Amino acid sequence: MLRVGIDVGGTFTDLFAWDEEVKGPASVRTAKVLSTPGDPVIGFMNALSKAGIKPSEIGTIIHGTTIGTNALIERKYPEPALITTSGFRDTIEIGRQRRKNLYDPYQIKPRPLINRSRRFTVTEKLGSDGSTVKPLDREEARKVAEHIASQGIKNIAIAFVNSYVSGSHEQEMREIILKAIPDARVALSSETRPKIRELGRFVTTAIRAALFPVVSDYFTRLEERLRETGSKAPIFIVKSNGGMMRSNTAKERPEELIESGPAGGVAAGAFLSNLLNIKDMIVTDVGGTSFEAALMENGRGLVTDEYELEWEMPIITPMLDIRSIGAGGGSIAWIDKGGSLRVGPQSAGADPGPACYGRGGTLPTVTDANLVLGRLNQTLSGKFKLDYDAAVNAIRTVADPLGLSVLDCAEGIIEIVCENMAGAIRMVSTDRGRDPRDQTLIAFGGAGGLHAYKVAEAAGISKILVPPFAGVACAFGATTMDVRHDLEATFYAPVEDLDSTELTNAFTKLEHDCRELLRNDGILPNQITFERNALMRYIGQSYEVATPVPNGDLDDSIVADVAAAFHREHKREYGVSSEDFPVAFVTLRLTGYGQVAKPDASDLEAALGAGDENSITSAKNQRKVYFGGQHYTVDVFDPAHLSAGQEIQGPAIIEQPDSEIVLPINAKAQVDQYGNIIITNQGKAVANGKTLVSTKEEVL
- Decide if pLDDT at 596 tops 90: no
How far is the CA of 63 from the CAs of 3, 244, 278, 653, in angstroms? 11, 9, 27, 31
Distance CA 211, CA 68 (A): 7
pLDDT tens figures, 565-581: 999 999 988 889 999 99
Mean pLDDT of the 324-352 span: 89
- Could you give the 3-state DSSP secondary structure of residue 611? strand
545 membership: H or E segment, kind and range? strand 545-549
Q: Contact at 8 Å (CB) between 80 and 170?
A: no
Residue 450 CB partners (closer than 8 Å, separation 6+): 286, 370, 375, 376, 659, 660, 661, 662
Mean pLDDT of the 15-19 span: 91
Q: Please, which residues bridge with residue 525 across strands? A: none
Distance CA 387, CA 41 (A): 28
pLDDT tens figures, 385-417: 899 999 999 999 999 999 999 999 999 999 999
Task: Give the domain ranges of the chain.
Answer: 76-214, 259-481+602-700, 483-594
Distance CA 203, CA 314 (A): 7
Mean pLDDT of the 599-605 span: 74
Mean pLDDT of the 449-463 span: 93
Could you count the other beta carbons within 10 Å of the beta carbon of residue 442? 30
Residue 163 CB partners (closer than 8 Å, separation 6+): 126, 169, 170, 188, 189, 190, 194, 201
Looking at residue 578, its pLDDT comes to 93
**Of 489 and 11, the one with more pLDDT:** 489
Residue 507 CB partners (closer than 8 Å, separation 6+): 532, 549, 554, 588, 590
pLDDT tens figures, 54-107: 999 999 999 999 888 888 888 899 999 999 999 999 999 998 887 888 888 888
- Decide if pLDDT at 558 tops 80: yes
pLDDT band at residue 431, thresholds of 50, 70 and 90?
Answer: confident
Q: Does the 76-214 domain belong in CATH 3.40.50? A: yes
Count Cβ neighbours within 10 Å for each residue of 641-651 and write b for 16 or more, e otherwise: ebebebebbbb
Looking at residue 688, its pLDDT comes to 46
How far is the CA of 386 from the CAs of 106, 363, 370, in angstroms? 42, 15, 11
How far is the CA of 274 from the CAs of 270, 281, 644, in angstroms? 6, 12, 20
- Could you give the 3-state DSSP secondary structure of residue 631? strand
Looking at residue 657, its pLDDT comes to 83
- Amino acid making up residue 441: L
pLDDT band at residue 324, thresholds of 50, 70 and 90?
Answer: confident
DSSP 184-204: -EEEEHHHH---SSHHHHHHH
Mean pLDDT of the 554-564 span: 96
- Could you give the 3-state DSSP secondary structure of residue 222? helix
If you count DSSP H runs as helices and E runs as strands, how many of each does the chain have, helices first? 17, 36
Looking at residue 419, its pLDDT comes to 95
Residue 435 CB partners (closer than 8 Å, separation 6+): 429
- Could you give the 3-state DSSP secondary structure of residue 560? helix
pLDDT tens figures, 155-191: 999 999 999 999 999 999 999 999 999 999 999 999 9
pLDDT band at residue 615, thresholds of 50, 70 and 90?
Answer: low
End-to-end CA distance of the chain: 52
Fold assignment, 259-481+602-700:
Nucleotidyltransferase; domain 5 (3.30.420)
Nearest residue to 276 (alpha-carbon basis) of 680, 679, 681, 672: 672
Looking at residue 609, its pLDDT comes to 65
Average pLDDT, the chain: 90
Q: Contact at 8 Å (CB) between 692 and 467?
A: no
- Decide if pLDDT at 245 tops 60: yes
Looking at residue 695, its pLDDT comes to 38
Nearest residue to 373 (alpha-carbon basis) of 664, 618, 656: 664
401 membership: H or E segment, kind and range? helix 388-402
Nearest residue to 236 (alpha-carbon basis) of 225, 244, 227, 228: 244
Q: Contact at 8 Å (CB) between 98 and 312?
A: yes
Could you count the other beta carbons within 10 Å of the beta carbon of residue 400? 12
Distance CA 491, CA 52 (A): 52
Residue 511 CB partners (closer than 8 Å, separation 6+): 530, 590, 592
Distance CA 495, CA 497 (A): 5
Count Cβ neighbours within 10 Å for each residue of 301-321 and write b for 16 or more, e otherwise: bbbbbebebeebbbbbbbbbb
pLDDT band at residue 685, thresholds of 50, 70 and 90?
Answer: very low
Distance CA 681, CA 678 (A): 10
Mean pLDDT of the 646-656 span: 91
| CA count, 13 A, side-chain hemisphere, 261 | 30
Distance CA 106, CA 155 (A): 34
| CA count, 13 A, side-chain hemisphere, 447 | 28
pLDDT band at residue 452, thresholds of 50, 70 and 90?
Answer: very high
Nearest residue to 63 (alpha-carbon basis) of 218, 205, 204, 217: 218
Looking at residue 541, its pLDDT comes to 92
Length of the chain: 700
| E-assigned strand segments in 452-510 | 463-466, 483-494
How far from the centroid of its chain's Cα atoms is residue 137's Cα?
42
**Of 432 and 385, the one with more pLDDT:** 385
Q: Contact at 8 Å (CB) between 343 and 413?
A: yes
Residue 439 CB partners (closer than 8 Å, separation 6+): 280, 281, 282, 295, 429, 461
pLDDT tens figures, 345-386: 888 877 788 999 988 889 999 999 999 999 998 887 667 789
Q: Contact at 8 Å (CB) between 283 and 293?
A: yes
pLDDT band at residue 597, thresholds of 50, 70 and 90?
Answer: confident
Q: Contact at 8 Å (CB) between 596 and 606?
A: no
- Decide if pLDDT at 687 tops 50: no
Residue 517 CB partners (closer than 8 Å, separation 6+): 245, 249, 485, 487, 592
Fold assignment, 483-594:
Dna Ligase; domain 1 (3.30.1490)
